[in-house]
Amino acid sequence: MSTPGPANTGTVNTGAVNSEQFRPVFGLPILVLSGMQLLVVLDGTVAALALPSIRDALALSESSANWVISSYVLAFGGLMLLGGRLGDTFGRKRMFIVGVVAFTLTSLLCGLAWNEASLLAGRALQGASAAIAAPTAMALVATTFAPGKPRSQAFAVYAAMTGVGSVAGLILGGVLTELSWRLVFLINVPIGLIVVVGAIVALRESQGERLPLDVPGAVLGTLGCTLLVLAVNEGPNGWTAPVVVGSFILGALALAAFIVVERRARNPLLPFSLFDNSSRVAALLAILLASMIMMCMAVFISLYLQGILQYSPIQSGLAVVPFAFGLGIAAAIASKLALMIQPRWLVLVGGAVILVGCLYASSIATDSPDYFPSIFIPVVVIGFGVGLAVIPLTLSVVAGVGTTEIGPLTALAQVAQNLGGAVGLVVVGAMVTSRALSKGGTTAPVETMNPTQLAAQAEGYGLAFAACAGIAVLAAIVVLFMRFTPEQVAEGQAAQEAADAGVDAGTNTPGPDAQR
């Protein structure tokens, strides 16, 4: 379940743009660029939906199954900032094609995976490929279309793929998983090939300012997060085990080294000046927490519906579609209300709605309830709460900033969203496994469980929903420190529109687009 984020998440051309390169909005270039966005969103949605089938087919434990999602999201989020810089340095069209080709090949590897190791390696490489293709695609939207209305329309089409991909993924993923879980990855191959051919034919090269690549920072940051996630994921099997203790220590050392490198780097991936505003830090932390909720709900609802209630993948996908509609309705309301009242109050209301929905879901997890109203209502309610909370948060990230700060901040919000989802899934997954084992459960595939073990697993999923409620409370506490006003949100929206249109806010003159 992906959510709409800030429109401008990529690096954009910083120099004058030749008018000859501008194209009509609705043509092959936007189809190619939005096609990659659709691939990325679809992949995240269908993988969560297919996870029960993948886990059973490859005999994965609960902790191993979490890595099918986490390995992708960690690589995607951890390397996204570097991916944008690669486009600037070596050419955006060139790196976009490289990213899509790599994404296509790694999707093929995932679809043909013969064991746990090959699948997890494929998923990590797939995430790294997306980290190259996604930000360069965003930059190409800005440099392919003329400033003003054409570029704004192109960004709107590109952003719309998030919503389309989320809903389509739930339906298409269910259909494909019914046939074979491998098809949810193999379907990317023909689409990826079409995108590559279209990119070669329709896109023109553009290049930003060549800046030093902060490869050590990207590697250390991603490695540190991965090691800490590994430690938490393996913890339920023994918190004093060498792999757990060692991963904690090495992860902490890697993140400490990351901070040192970023402070000394000539062109750091993560400028610490972005954290000078405490309200913005609170917004980013809240996005990270909200992403934990969204990822956990996407994965554990699918596992619960298919594993405990014995829904088919198609039924499971259709059962969660109302989440997207609830989110969409709330998003439309929140985007208008954020210009009238402080965003933190909207986030608090949204958090309260999520809290109620998650607590209700937790209370019925062991009851084998009917879909309507017992499951339908919390799905819609939680989706509405997420939309009401997340939209003001994404607006707050760029509240009160100029056009040149839009790119780094929206990119950072995307990183927080991806890393939050990975961390949340593993932390809550560890809690699920611990609860199930304490109630007499097992880590064996669901189809081999006896009634007692299934009941224990249902208890674990109930704890997952309760944990999401707890995360919502924590997010509400964080946003109390977010003091943005409606006027600052409006200023940020104006800067966002100016960045998309290629002008400086307030002067209506051609200006520098956002950079990483």
Both 236 and 145 in one domain: the answer is no
Within a domain: 50:
yes
Residues in the chain with pLDDT values less than 70: 1-26, 207-209, 211, 402-405, 407, 499-516
Both 204 and 286 in one domain: the answer is no
Which runs of E-coded beta strand occur in 276-355? none
Q: How far apart are CA 12 and CA 502, in angstroms?
A: 9
Both 208 and 292 in one domain: the answer is no
Q: How many CB atoms sit inside 10 A of residue 446's CB?
A: 18
- Helix, strand, or coil here: 503? strand
Q: How far apart are CA 461 and CA 464, in angstroms?
A: 5
Within a domain: 15:
no
Q: What pLDDT score does 26 carry?
A: 65
With beta carbons less than 8 A apart as the criterion, state whether 42 and 168 touch.
Answer: yes
With beta carbons less than 8 A apart as the criterion, state whether 139 and 13 touch.
Answer: yes
Q: What pLDDT score does 18 carry?
A: 43
Both 297 and 194 in one domain: the answer is no
Both 177 and 295 in one domain: the answer is no
Within a domain: 124:
yes
Within a domain: 16:
no
Q: How many CB atoms sit inside 10 A of residue 175's CB?
A: 14
Both 162 and 86 in one domain: the answer is yes
Token pair 């793929």: residue: 161
- Helix, strand, or coil here: 510? strand
Measured distance between the N- and C-terminal CA atoms of the chain, rounded to whole angstroms: 27
Within a domain: 516:
no
Residue 425 tokens read as 């899934």
Alpha-carbon distances of 260 from 223, 224, 249, 264, 296, rounded to whole Å: 15, 13, 17, 6, 32
The domain tally of the chain equals 3
Backbone phi, psi, residue 239, to 5°: -70, -15
505: left (phi over 0), alpha (psi -120 to 50) or beta: beta
Both 235 and 286 in one domain: the answer is no
Q: How many CB atoms sit inside 10 A of residue 371's CB?
A: 14
Domain span including residue 61: 1-9+23-212
Both 199 and 253 in one domain: the answer is no
Of 323, 424, 325, 467, the C-alpha closest to 382 is 323
Alpha-carbon distances of 305 from 76, 320, 388, 426, rounded to whole Å: 27, 10, 25, 19
Which runs of E-coded beta strand occur in 328-467? none
Where does a domain end: 226, 242, 264?
264
Q: What pLDDT score does 341 carry?
A: 92
Within a domain: 409:
yes
* Tens of pLDDT, residues 175-234: 999 999 999 999 999 999 999 999 999 898 876 667 678 889 899 999 999 999 889 888
Q: What pLDDT score does 404 carry?
A: 63
Q: How far apart are CA 93 and CA 99, in angstroms?
A: 10
Q: What pLDDT score does 13 carry?
A: 42
Q: How many CB atoms sit inside 10 A of residue 49's CB?
A: 30
Q: How far apart are CA 152 and CA 169, in angstroms?
A: 26
The one-letter code for the residue type at 73 is V
CATH number at residue 128: 1.20.1250.20
Q: How far apart are CA 236 and CA 442, in angstroms?
A: 12
Q: How far apart are CA 84 and CA 141, in angstroms?
A: 13
Both 175 and 315 in one domain: the answer is no
Both 431 and 295 in one domain: the answer is yes
Both 235 and 164 in one domain: the answer is no
* Tens of pLDDT, residues 78-118: 998 888 888 888 889 999 999 999 999 999 999 999 999 99
Q: How far apart are CA 358 and CA 167, in angstroms?
A: 21
Q: What pLDDT score does 95 carry?
A: 94
Global pTM value: 0.84
Within a domain: 473:
yes
What is the pairing mode between strands 503-504 and 509-510? Answer: antiparallel
Give residue 240's Cα distance to chain centre.
31
How does DSSP classify residue 236? G
Backbone phi, psi, residue 484, to 5°: -65, 145
Within a domain: 14:
no
Both 393 and 496 in one domain: the answer is yes
Omega within 30 of 0 (cis) for the link into 6:
no
Q: How far apart are CA 348 and CA 8, in angstroms?
A: 26
